Amino acid sequence: MRADRSGGDWEIDTVQPVLAASVADLATYYPDSATTHPIAAMGGPMLALYDRDPDRAFAMFDRYSRSEDPWVQAAAPLLRGTFGSILGRMEWAESDCQAALAAFRALGEAWGTAAVLMTLAEFAKLRGDFAAAVAALEEAAALGHELGAWGDLSHIAGKLAAIRLREGDLASARADLERAERDQAERGSGPSDAKAWLSLVRAELLCREGDLGAAGWLCAQQLAWLDGKQSAWWYGTRAVVLVRLAMIALADGDRDRSRALLADALSTATDWVELPAIADVVDAIAVYSAESATLAAALLGAAHSIRGCFDEGSLDAPRGPGFPARAARPRRIRGRLRARPRAGPR
């Protein structure tokens, strides 16, 4: 198969030509089918995201919803909701995922149910409903144990750690994170996207514990690894790492370095299509600007507009009576972001 010809390198920039050819082959051989395999259903949307054409992906999800395969029918609203959450279309993203959860439960399909629960936990975290987020992840973990889905289990443990540290339960966060890190270490010693994400959670935990030096060192290591990727696919992750470094510099009193890191983060995030990363940067700029409550409030409103909701679970966004403005002109702001010209790799 064409999809096996990537030489072992699964970076999107490497596999994109092969993936595009495979998707074209599928359309040629099965022109009347929405999709012929659940995994094949992801090829076209991933290419659409790579091409910065999210409307094409949403059109595919509409076709998938008419598939004769009940699994694909159930997955269609999950995919639509997941893509909606990263593209600022929050007005229906969570309800789509709730529909997917009901469909997978009706099928008795454990993996799909767990996948939706992990996504729903993210929506709960955005609302600051940490108890609901933990409950969703714990149910997903129970299903994962039944399936032996070890990769998913380490990811779930990392998500639990990220939520618990936002709750202030640092001991439980550390325990969950150490479990996730052990699981990852047992499956391989080299760098990976999963280990990079867990390192970011580790840095967040270190910041909450007051060890800014260790957190900064860890972020610098991950930034060096990400810079070696030279791919826009990683810009959102790179921007979030830069934000953490900027917040560390700000806490250390180095406003000039913090400002430079935030500028780099904003430039990086806006060169890609994932709006939550841009909103996270703007939240952090609000922290940097907190001496002016009016400016910080306006920035929080901009972040709300970009993300499609306010992030009540943010580690960084300032709160309180001095920061009331959370939403303003969402369509205009998001329209400007979508109109940005495509930028090449850094």
Res 301 pLDDT > 80: yes
pLDDT at 281: 96
More confident residue, 270 or 184: 270
Res 189 pLDDT > 60: no
**What is the distance of C-alpha 48 from the center of its chain?**
17
**What is the distance of C-alpha 286 from the center of its chain?**
21
pLDDT at 186: 80
Residues 323-337 have a mean pLDDT of 42
Q: Are 158 and 176 in contact (CB under 8 A)?
A: yes
pLDDT in tens, 145-168: 888 866 678 889 999 999 999 999
Of the pLDDT bands very low, low, confident and very high (cuts 50, 70, 90), residue 344 is very low
Task: Give the C-alpha separation, 262 to 237, whole Å.
Answer: 14
CA distances from 150 to 154, 162, 187 (A): 6, 19, 9
Name residues whose C-beta falls within 8 Å of residue 208's C-beta, 6 or more positions apart in sequence: 165, 168, 170, 173, 315
pLDDT at 228: 86
CATH T-level fold of 110-189: 1.25.40
Place of tokens 């639509």: 80
Res 331 pLDDT > 70: no
Place of tokens 């699964």: 10
Place of tokens 């940067």: 281
Paired tokens of 296 = 């910080």
The residue ranges of every structural domain in the chain are 1-108, 110-189, 216-346
Res 343 pLDDT > 80: no
- Residue 293 phi/psi, 5-degree rounding, is -60, -35
Task: Give the C-alpha separation, 201 to 178, whole Å.
Answer: 11
Q: Are 89 and 108 in contact (CB under 8 A)?
A: no
Residue 163's nearest CA partner among 121, 199, 197, 115 is 121
List the single range of 87-91, 151-155, 308-312 with lowest mean pLDDT.
151-155
Paired tokens of 182 = 């052990």
Residue 85's nearest CA partner among 72, 94, 95, 74 is 94
CA distances from 55 to 85, 130, 267, 275, 283 (A): 14, 32, 24, 15, 27
Task: Give the C-alpha separation, 203 to 69, whole Å.
Answer: 42
Percent of the chain whose predicted confidence (pLDDT) is above 70: 79
